[in-house]
Structure 1
Amino acid sequence: MEVKKNSFKAWVLAARPKTLTGAAVPVMIGLSLAWKDSINYIGHPFSWTAAVLCILFAFIMQIDANFINDFVDYIKGTDDRETRLGPERACTQGWVSIEAMKHAIATTTVLACIVGLPLALYGGLEMILIGLLCVIFCFLYTTHLSYIGLGDVLVLIFFGLIPVSMTYYVQLHTLTFEVFMAAIACGIVIDTLLLVNNFRDRDTDKLAGKHTLVVRIGEKYTLGLYWIIGIAAFMMGLSFGLNGKWWAFILPMLYTILHTLTFLKIKHIWKGRELNKCLSETARNILIYGLLVSIGLLLN
């Protein structure tokens, strides 16, 4: 692929637009829950300004994480051009210079802080602490924690618990058991993307000393876990039904079908670059899950 160094196209590729699905889904679910429940909370009208800030913060943090991942993996030599199975990376391919990537990381980090700071006006000063944790662990994930098998835990926290719960909290200044269940379900659904990514890279990660969950527990257990957590997320949606929001439980049945078909495809392909198709399908499934849950919540 012909890409001019540091061009607009190079930066779009470095930002990895497809990964924004993972940033959008938890905020989408949190906003849908808040919108529905705001009808019952007198004195806490839904704020569209806060909603937009939550979306922007999530998107910028995801791009920031992608830049950091691109830069650090290049420096560590994890993204070897000859052995890499996943999509090509900007620094490794020479699309973006190292100095330019350093500046981009600094810029997106500062921009995320600027966008996120006004959320303290809606959710209180605790939003500043949450924002700082997001920034700190954004760096720690790629530089250290993903190498010791804690990536899946961070996905659960920073793509489930925090974005769903805090998006809801800035609107209504409270949390419920239903929100907690939705946050956990969202986190484990998004973790399927990390699982299939690491399943594909298990051999090269092992050689690079990157002890992901797949490397630690083995490929068969990981594949089983991939399917189980997707089904478990759907079953956790029963909490919606018990609160009278049955559509939010029923509609995601379609997700379980797509998720199972992708699981069977992973099982069939098993190794190599062909698994990138499953990675794309998993990202699609996550988006469909988020849309179905959100639509279901709004229909009730």
Structure 2
Amino acid sequence: MTDTADVSRREAWLIAARPHTLPVAAAPILVAVGLAVRDGVFAPLPALAAFVGAALIQVGTNFANDYYDAVQGADTEEREGFTRVTAGGLIEPDEVKRAMYLTFAAAILVGTYLVWVGGVPILVVGLVSVASGIAYTGGPYPLGYHGLGDLFVFVFFGVVAVTGAYYVQAASFVVGIPVGIPKGAVTLSSVVASLPIAAIATNVLVVNNVRDKEEDETTGKRTLAVRFGYTFSRVQFVAMLALAYAVPAWFFARTGEPAVFLPYLSLPLAARVTKTIFTRTDGEALNPALTRTGQLLALYALLFGIALAL
């Protein structure tokens, strides 16, 4: 953890927001835009609004994790991860909680435009996403405390994020506010294209949980790493990467376009992170690995988005 003695208030809020996690919000938009360009349904304003909404939900979830992990005793002095402002006494708990609600409120405000574009389906998805962001570490049954965090990330920061961003672009070409899902607004290609983003975003959490396994065991946080051990998490990490790098082959089989293999240029970075997670469990090694996994997500998404557009 960072020495909190010389941390300014502005720096504390930046720590709480965790900007290094924003690739998780940006990656789905890059892929959805690339696919929308390919399919002739690219719409810049809905795509931008989708990114802003996703980023706000990501930051709001970060505030929620910081607050709820502190008040529930999951963050201790033995923590090897990045500094938490609530547990570290940098910002009062009530302020972090207020920031969480304000950030989610801003996401809902952005979402009103997306509802105007995408109709009832986006309203439902948006409200469920915000509620799940809070429920990740808060509420009567915190998802992250019961081994459901990986599923949450896979679904909401992967499948829902990519297909939702594609949907609002395609739906913007429909006259009127949709009540149901317009034809062509959710395609098989958009669902399959979401899987690599879902997989690598999940791996961000896997690295986090491997690093925090020993502390989580003592605080009652039953992540998959705690439940099944290091070997399971390492196999899970490789399985997620295998899924991510299998998807371009699926698109190649359908299109015959070799450009879809462009994401394979990110394989050296994937191999580097894999080596670290297979050999280390300490924060000194896994904190940089966590950052590199976020970079892998961003790089893969950028390459895949370009490949789809081409």
Q: Secondary structure at the match of 1:84?
A: coil
Matched residues in 1 for 2:143 and 2:280: separation? 29
Kept after mapping to 2: 8 A contact 1:160/1:187: yes
Of 96, 103, 109, the residue aligned with 1:101 is: 96
Q: What is the aligned counterpart of 2:212 among 201, 226, 235? A: 201
Kindly state the Cα deviation for residue 185 of structure 1 after the two structures are TM-superposed.
2.1
Q: How does 1:246-261 map to 2 (within 5 A)?
A: 246-247=257-258, 249-261=260-272
Query: How does 1:122-201 map onto structure 2 within 5 Å?
Result: 122-143=117-138, 144-173=142-171, 174-201=185-212
Closer, same or farther: CA 270–11 of 1 in aligned 2, 3 Å: closer
Distance 1:89 1:245, change over 3 A: farther
Distance 2:289 2:126 in 1: 32
1:41 aligned partner: none
CA distance in 2, matches of 1:267, 1:255: 19
Q: In structure 2, the residue corresponding to 1:77 is in which secondary structure?
A: coil
One-letter code aligned to 1:97: E
1:168: Cα distance to partner?
Answer: 0.6
What is the one-letter code of the residue matched to 1:128?
L
- Residue 42 of structure 1 corresponds to none
- Give the 3 Å change call, closer, same or farther, for CA 46–254 of structure 1 in structure 2: closer
Aligned to 2:282: 271
What letter corresponds to residue 129 of structure 1 in structure 2?
V
Give 1:248 deviation, angstroms.
5.0
Cα 1:155–1:247 change in 2 (3 A) is farther
Q: Distance in 2 between matches of 1:47 and 1:266?
A: 39
Matching of residues 201-220 of structure 1 within 5 Å = 201-220=212-231
Amino acid at match of 1:118: Y
User: What is the TM-score normalised by the length of structure 2?
Assistant: 0.89
What is the SS of the residue equivalent to 1:211?
coil
CA distance in 1, matches of 2:256, 2:169: 20
Q: Distance in 2 between matches of 1:138 and 1:270?
A: 27
2:75 counterpart of 1:79 = yes
Q: Secondary structure at the match of 2:284?
A: coil
2:233 maps to: 222
2:33 paired with 1:23: no
Q: 1:247 to 1:86 in 2, by over 3 A?
A: farther
The answer on whether the counterparts of 2:80 and 2:282 sit within 8 Å (CA) in structure 1 is no
Partners of 1:247 and 1:85 lie apart in 2 by 43
How far did residue 197 of structure 1 move? 0.5
How many residues align? The count is 290
The residue identity in structure 2 corresponding to 1:8 is R
- Listed as ranges, the gaps of 5+ residues in structure 2 are 172-184
State yes or no: 1:35 paired with 2:30: no
Taking the aligned partners of 1:214 and 1:192, their CA distance within structure 2 comes to 12
Q: Secondary structure at the match of 1:87?
A: coil
Contact map agreement 1:240 1:248 (CA 8 A) in 2? no
RMSD over aligned Cα atoms: 1.5
Calculate the TM-score normalised by the size of structure 1. 0.92
The one-letter amino acid paired with 2:106 is L
CA contact (8 A) 1:259 1:285 kept: yes
Matched, 1:285 2:296: yes
Larger mean Cα displacement after TM superposition, 144-153 or 47-56: 47-56
Distance 1:221 1:93 in 2: 31
Q: Which contiguous aligned blocks of 4+ residues in structure 1 show a shift greater than 4 angstroms? A: none
- 1:243 shift after superposition: 3.4
2:46 paired with 1:50: yes
Equivalence for 1:63? 59
| Secondary structure in 2 matching 1:155 | helix
Instruction: Tell me if structure 2 keeps the 8 A contact 1:28–1:290.
Output: yes
